Structure 1
């Protein structure tokens, strides 16, 4: 057996041993990748054995070498497939997408922005944005999770034990955190102010960020997005709910249903969806079914 095959076999044995041990320790739910999720959840990550049901056991063979080689190949293929989708990789893809489409604007405030390498800068003069408090953070582009990380991470055991930091090495969380369909370019200050607040409609007056037509109520912990992106938000929430089995509250579900109907996809939403499908391998069907 050559050196490369020995390394592959060692990795495979280590991976399988670790996964089996973790599954045995998953007492409060069901194993999902290298994490543990609630028993009433379904683990849904493409190209990874994620069913809550036991996986079929492979039949024994007289040639252990061929079995080990096959197992090694399957394990390596799964690891590679999962590792490709994470937040850092997603940001690289998104910078490229928006460099090729420079006419697009920031998500919450509609400001023009551009990139110098991976660093994004914003033209406040064009959109009338005025920093509320944090001018330094307001000057940069950040990638906003439309559905907050807490919403899709809190049912994982890694989150329950250590929050977002506790999920840094969790492949399931990394795949959700790096899903391109859930990421949008935002002014850093607004991204920070939105935090993990739920979306809502509560005001007709907008003065917190100059002429930006989005608003936040810190006391009530709600965020009102501008009208132009409400449909995008709704279809993103439905996508995350469907792909990762994320529960929506009754109030969130009713709001998203209304926004989806009131604000159908514009051309850029359809184009972006197709571009992401080429990169990530899957579309957002809630957009696709409305795009001609």
Structure 2
């Protein structure tokens, strides 16, 4: 086989691989879209705080925020289907609103439960719209929040939530057809492996389906991440 034929074969193989990747992405988008019934922002927060993340004990109910892992209780406005005091416990959009797709409904993206998380108000402000990544040099220490770090251009969350956030962003990228930057994606892929899907995520997936109508394919089938070359 001469060089020309080798070149042609390589082009065909490359095209086939690209087509396969595109087909997988399209199939995942369809799966992420299937059944999606957007909620209003108030309704979404009631489900987020008052159902998905609400923990019940003999001492009462509480919510543990994801960045500082502080417990918020009844005195903070926590309870079944209640929205807590926003000056204490806030709604984190894992995919920052500043980077929402202009081709999709802003409201639908804002209320999508798969990328909403409960966070201590101050930590939420420190994260802002920073990309996720591993902070090499801390820019600001977050008061009463030693488990998370703010760097100049990235934000590092606690180890036990890294995989959850990675899969939330994978979902958002696929659902709304928005690319993830190469550097952030590299960190997210690593976090996805280091912090695999757990029972809480599976329960959240089921609850989101109950209230919002759709599922996160990367929670149902985490192995699919390896089949996508990039997001």
Q: Same fold (TM over 0.5)?
A: yes
Q: What residue is the counterpart of 1:191 in the other structure?
A: 124
Counterpart selection for 1:213 from 138, 142, 147: 147
RMSD between superposed Cα atoms in Å: 3.0
Gaps of 5+ in 1: 1-42, 49-80, 122-135, 157-170
Deviation at 1:254, TM superposition (A): 1.3
The DSSP-based 3-state class of the residue aligned with 2:105 is helix
Deviation at 1:249, TM superposition (A): 1.1
Post-superposition CA distance 1:65-113 (Å, at most 9, x none)? xxxxxxxxxxxxxxxx86x523222112223213465465101111111
Q: What residue is the counterpart of 1:269 in the other structure?
A: 201
User: RCO (CA 8 Å, sep 6+): is it higher in 1 or 2?
Assistant: 2
Distance 2:63 2:137 in 1: 25
Counterpart selection for 2:169 from 222, 237, 245: 237
The DSSP-based 3-state class of the residue aligned with 2:66 is coil
Distance 1:141 1:120 in 2: 6
Residues 229 and 99 of structure 1: CA distance in aligned 2, closer, same or farther (over 3 Å): closer
Preserved CA contact (<8 Å) 1:106 1:186: yes
Q: What residue is the counterpart of 2:96 in the other structure?
A: 148
Q: What residue is the counterpart of 1:257 in the other structure?
A: 189
Preserved CA contact (<8 Å) 1:194 1:223: yes
Work out whether 1:181 is the aligned partner of 2:114: yes
Preserved CA contact (<8 Å) 1:145 1:184: yes
Gaps of 5+ in 2: 1-28, 224-231
Preserved CA contact (<8 Å) 1:199 1:224: yes
Q: What residue is the counterpart of 1:120 in the other structure?
A: 84
Q: Count the aligned residue pairs.
A: 183
TM-score relative to the length of structure 1: 0.55
Q: What residue is the counterpart of 1:110 in the other structure?
A: 69
Deviation at 1:221, TM superposition (A): 3.0
The DSSP-based 3-state class of the residue aligned with 2:84 is strand
> Within 5 A, what are the aligned runs for 1:163-178?
172-178=105-111
Post-superposition CA distance 1:29-66 (Å, at most 9, x none)? xxxxxxxxxxxxxx989589xxxxxxxxxxxxxxxxxx
Preserved CA contact (<8 Å) 2:123 2:142: no
- Report which stretch shifted further, 106-115 or 204-213: 204-213
